[in-house]
Structure 1
Amino acid sequence: MRKIEIEGSKIYVGESYQNITKYLPDAQIIMISDMNVYTHYKHFIDKYDNIIIPTGEKSKNWSTVALIVEELLKLKADRNTFLVGMGGGVVTDITGFVASVFMRGVRFGFIASSLLAQVDASLGGKNGINFHTFKNMIGVFNTPEFVICDAELLKTLPKREVQSGFGEIIKHALIKDHELFVYLKENYKLLLELENRTLEFVIWKAIGIKALVVSNDWLEKGERKQLNFGHTLGHAIENNSDYTHGEAVAVGMYWASKWSVEKGILSETDFAEVQHILKLYRLPINFSLDKYILTSYLLKDKKKHGSAIDFVFLKEIGAAQVMSVPMEELVRAIERL
């Protein structure tokens, strides 16, 4: 087992979810999960008071927050209650958000059951919900006391969800770690087969990258913005199509890399490497979506400031650059897709 700390939050890679009692306080424990996770792990979740929410990104909204709060009151939760979110990014996001606002805040922790949650969504203290079609428009910064990342949990995931998680791991490598990028290329077969030792190493490396970036820039004023590589277009695609988060981010990374070449920031050779690794992990690089819908969404992106937006370009494999780009230039670039 490996342990990493991010702003007071302890991340345990390779720890069994069944050992959670080691990390729980002597208090009322209420577990929050979704129907998919509950189906697989009912025997474990039913050991605790629990609240089961609908599955999927569409449930990350005010209605689900209200449902959880109503159930918390029925369970007689108070300020000493400890919440555990067991699930993917939707569950961890909404659990962290509810824990931050219920009775002005209660303690909480996560069991991250998807690859995406283990390497990204459950880490860094961002908790939130969507508002209409706008992703994570309402949220807070607040860290869980612990995150358990058990690779065994990933074996019940659909293959598509596994590939989605690798989209974020590839992003971490592209912006910060050339050696990890090479490792991902050389070991892609073992990783897609979820070989435990190889997978745990990659999860640990990806978490380490995020931990370093977040520690340097907790409130996303500078370096942390690099973690948005591929997300500007990616979020627009995700919220207007049936692409998963990782699939949409993969398209966003491909396009951001292509634009980086057009602007003379990235070499054609490195751009070919980006295309190659996305194909190895069976992630898409194209999409079919009305460009008017895309640009309308982008004009309301929360990274926008005034008439410009902070956009993440790729300089080389392992290094990114954030530049303020006029929205008009971004829209013209989208139109050339």
Structure 2
Amino acid sequence: MKSIYIEKQNSSIHVGESYLKVKNYLPEKKCFLICDEHIYEHYSEFIDQFDYIVMGCGEGNKNWNTMEKIIEQLLDKGADRNSFLLGMGGGLVSDVTGFVASIFMRGIEFGFISTSLLSQVDASVGGKNGINFGKLKNMVGVFNPPKFVICDPILLKTLPKRELSSGFGEIIKHAFIKDESLYLFLKEKREALLNLDSDLMEDLVFRAVSIKTEVVEGDPFEKGERKKLNFGHTIGHAIENNSDLTHGEAVSVGMNLACQLSQELNGLSADDVQKVNDLLTDFKLPIDHQVSAETINQYLSKDKKKNRSTLDFILLKKIGEATIVTLPIEELKARVIGLCANPKSTR
């Protein structure tokens, strides 16, 4: 087990720790556990030890209606401002738990047991908690870190293959923006990682979390360097919200499109574009999409990162090095039209 402490957020991430030992990390407060129906089905014997609340599965539950239902149940169960929330699940439960904890009684402490690869390396790290507003992903949210996150590799064994690939999409993103050696590790160990080799997965999660926590430490409120974590996400979110792709799959497509723009605007070599797409497809991730340029551009007009008439877009200089480029929205829209009219995929 390896632990990372984020000093500025007073938050700890424990990679390789058993979820069965979570009580070692709980404060002496009344604890309420939040999970979704899928997690309760798999881990009911463990969850039954707690006073728990079960929410629905799927992105459609990440909204105000779910918040109200959970808060009503917390009040019915006698929760107060000295209570503690423990989330157990993937990115959906992570966001919902963190958001509820941030607004209930003006804020209470919370922790998280991360059950998906995506949440272990992304959603549960860094303190961003958001819910959707209509089709706009994470439009309403807060910055509030958990007291702790437990990333137990054994929990990944119950993941469907698509959800596993979705998590690999975020890890690959970390490699592309920050760490060429992680890219080489993923390329070399691909088969063993896809088969969930326990030691390699623990090492992989720790490396990915280390990259994100280093960025978060330096920029906790996403004013500069942390924006690079959005590589593939600006267009990816538009595709995710208008298709049946998972988050990691949509980000994979977004990374392919961002690399094409990087070749046009940022000097990314054709060889690196090929390497990016090869790694994504090797991890069973898509690089093509069926969403129209018009639909993508409608989403970009409402992107939460937009600043009046411009948007900070993340491009690659080379594998392992990302840059933040401020683009006029209208120019970005024109380039999206061009990308969709002339799709370039390597497989």
- Using the size of structure 1 for normalisation, the TM-score is 0.99
Which residue matches 2:4? 4
Q: Distance in 2 between matches of 1:87 and 1:56?
A: 12
Q: Distance in 2 between matches of 1:195 and 1:222?
A: 35
Which residue matches 2:250? 248
**1:304 paired residue among 274, 281, 306:** 306
**2:230 paired residue among 228, 238, 248:** 228
The structural deviation recorded for 1:264 is 4.5
Q: Secondary structure at the match of 1:336?
A: helix
Q: Distance in 2 between matches of 1:262 and 1:140?
A: 35
Alignment of 1:96-111 (within 5 A): 96-111=98-113
Alignment of 1:43-58 (within 5 A): 43-58=45-60
After superposing on structure 2, the runs of 4+ consecutive aligned residues of structure 1 that deviate more than 6 Å are none
Q: Distance in 2 between matches of 1:143 and 1:307?
A: 31
AA in 2 matched with 1:153:
L
Which residue matches 1:78? 80
Q: Secondary structure at the match of 2:251?
A: helix
Which residue matches 1:175? 177
**2:140 paired residue among 138, 141, 153:** 138
Q: Secondary structure at the match of 1:80?
A: coil
Q: Distance in 1 between matches of 2:138 and 2:210?
A: 24
Is the contact between residue 231 and residue 255 of structure 2 (CA under 8 Å) also seen in structure 1? yes
Is the contact between residue 114 and residue 120 of structure 2 (CA under 8 Å) also seen in structure 1? yes
Q: Secondary structure at the match of 2:13?
A: strand
The structural deviation recorded for 1:172 is 0.3
The structural deviation recorded for 1:290 is 2.2
Is the contact between residue 90 and residue 118 of structure 2 (CA under 8 Å) also seen in structure 1? yes
AA in 1 matched with 2:97:
T
Q: Distance in 2 between matches of 1:34 and 1:264?
A: 42
| Residue 31 of structure 1 pairs with residue 33 of structure 2 | yes
Q: Distance in 2 between matches of 1:37 and 1:333?
A: 41
Is the contact between residue 280 and residue 287 of structure 2 (CA under 8 Å) also seen in structure 1? yes
AA in 1 matched with 2:321:
A
AA in 2 matched with 1:311:
F
Q: Distance in 2 between matches of 1:5 and 1:220?
A: 19
Which residue matches 1:216? 218
Any unmatched runs of 5+ in structure 1?
none
Is the contact between residue 153 and residue 201 of structure 2 (CA under 8 Å) also seen in structure 1? yes
Q: Distance in 2 between matches of 1:82 and 1:238?
A: 33
Q: Distance in 1 between matches of 2:241 and 2:290?
A: 13
Q: Distance in 2 between matches of 1:75 and 1:139?
A: 25
Farther-moved stretch of structure 1 (171-180 vs 291-300): 291-300
Which residue matches 2:127? 125
Q: Secondary structure at the match of 2:113?
A: strand
Give the number of aligned pairs.
337
What are the superposed Cα offsets for residues 172-231 of structure 1, whole Å, 9 maximum, x if unpaired? Answer: 000000000000000011111111100010100000000110111111111000000000
Is the contact between residue 178 and residue 320 of structure 2 (CA under 8 Å) also seen in structure 1? yes
Q: Distance in 1 between matches of 2:317 and 2:200?
A: 28
Q: Secondary structure at the match of 2:175?
A: helix
**1:260 paired residue among 231, 240, 262:** 262
Q: Distance in 2 between matches of 1:43 and 1:63?
A: 28
Q: Distance in 2 between matches of 1:253 and 1:44?
A: 38
Q: Distance in 2 between matches of 1:77 and 1:280?
A: 47
AA in 2 matched with 1:221:
K
Q: Distance in 1 between matches of 2:131 and 2:277?
A: 32
What are the superposed Cα offsets for residues 54-112 of structure 1, whole Å, 9 maximum, x if unpaired? Answer: 00111000000000000001110011111000000010101000001000111100000
Alignment of 1:149-160 (within 5 A): 149-160=151-162
AA in 2 matched with 1:271:
V
Q: Distance in 2 between matches of 1:303 and 1:213?
A: 18
Alignment of 1:187-336 (within 5 A): 187-336=189-338
AA in 2 matched with 1:266:
L
CA RMSD of aligned residues (A): 0.7
Q: Secondary structure at the match of 1:12?
A: strand
